[in-house]
Each structure stands twice: as C-alpha cells, then as structure tokens.
Amino acid sequence: MTYRITTVCLGNICRSPMAEAVIRARVNDAGLADRVVVNSAGTDGWHIGEDADPRALATLRDAGYDLDHRGRQFVAAWHDPDHPNYGDLVLAMDSRNFATLIEMADEPAHHRVHMMRSFDPALAGIPDGDPRLDVPDPWYGGMQDFVDVLAMLERASAGLVAQLPGLMSRR
Ligand code: 4NP
C-alpha cells in the first residue's frame, strides 16, 4: 500500500509546496516513486485553489524542481485513517503548524505528526515542537529567504528519504 506524506505550513503557498516538490524529487531519486505519494496543505484556508507563491515557484524552478500546485486546507477529518486525505506522515514546517496539527488530532494520531527539520541529521535530538526546528515563514521576506528555505528543505528531505524505508516498514 502507498505510503502518504503530507507537508503542512500556514498558507500552503510557500513552504509546504516547496517541501512537497523537494521530497518528491528525492523520493524519485531513491526509486520509491511507485510506493510513496507526497502532497501538501495549509492549516489556514486563505489560499485554497491557488497556485504557489511566484517567489516559491521561481526558487524551485531555478533549482530544477517541478511543481503543479493548488492550495488545500488541512482539516481535523484528515487525521482519520479512513479519510481520503489521511497521511501516514504529516510534516509541519514550524512549531505553530505543529501545535495546530496536534490540537486537531486525537492522541492516537499524534505519532504521525513531526516537524520537517527533525529529519535534518544536523538537528538530531531537538524535539518536535521546538522553534529551533522552524522553517521560517518567507511570506514577508525577500527572494533570499526563499533560497534559505529551499536549502533547509533539501537537508531535511535527504535525511527523511534515508529514513523512509524504516518508516514505511513500521507503519
Ligand atoms: P506559507 O507562507 O505558510 O509558507 O505558505 C504564508 C503564505 C501566506 C500567508 C502567510 C504565510 N498569508 O498570510 O496569506
């Protein structure tokens, strides 16, 4: 059965679509494309149906990533294993997204929710929910902030995909 990864930020137009594109590329590189699906959502609904932010798209394109995106909102029902948008692994971009995802889930669902950067080997040992694992929101920033976000996501994605076979076998 397919292993489902959902990346989550606030608006689903900057960080989580970028994370989705980078993880999908690394999953393809690892030869896992037929066993893993990656998608994204926001904890808020302001950008439902919209394309990703032009700065996120430009940063991805310049680094060789593809993305076809329509904004979605993560709602509590997605934590139900029978829901079509249920994810085996739900990756929060920052500590605020993490807290929102945990608040809307019953305790048995919590083990699926982690922070994206908890998979960066250089940050091992920092607990989920700790702001030191935040991917900073680039929405009010400039192009360099998007480039910095991409570098963080690339480090975390490499660590994540190295751990994927183990995660998939423990599901
Ligand atoms: P994201 O960034 O959570 O990385 O997609 C944001 C996008 C939009 C807004 C905030 C953050 N906004 O306020 O509309």
Q: How does the average pLDDT of the chain come out, rounded? A: 97
Centroid of ligand 1 to alpha carbon of 47 (angstroms): 8
Sign of CA dihedral 56, 18, 71, 69: positive
Note if 14 is an active site residue: no
pLDDT digits (tens, 9 = 90+) for 138-164: 999 999 999 999 999 999 999 999 999
pLDDT digits (tens, 9 = 90+) for 22-42: 999 999 999 999 999 999 999
Query: Does residue 1 carry a pLDDT above 90?
Result: no
Strands (DSSP E) found in 10-62: 36-42
Centroid of ligand 1 to alpha carbon of 1 (angstroms): 33
The domains located in the chain, with CATH, are 3-165 (3.40.50.2300)
pLDDT of residue 8: 99
Residues with CB under 6 A from ligand 1: 9-15, 42, 46, 137, 139
Average pLDDT over residues 100-105: 98
Rounded distance, CA 163 to CA 142, Å?
32
Rounded distance, CA 103 to CA 32, Å?
31
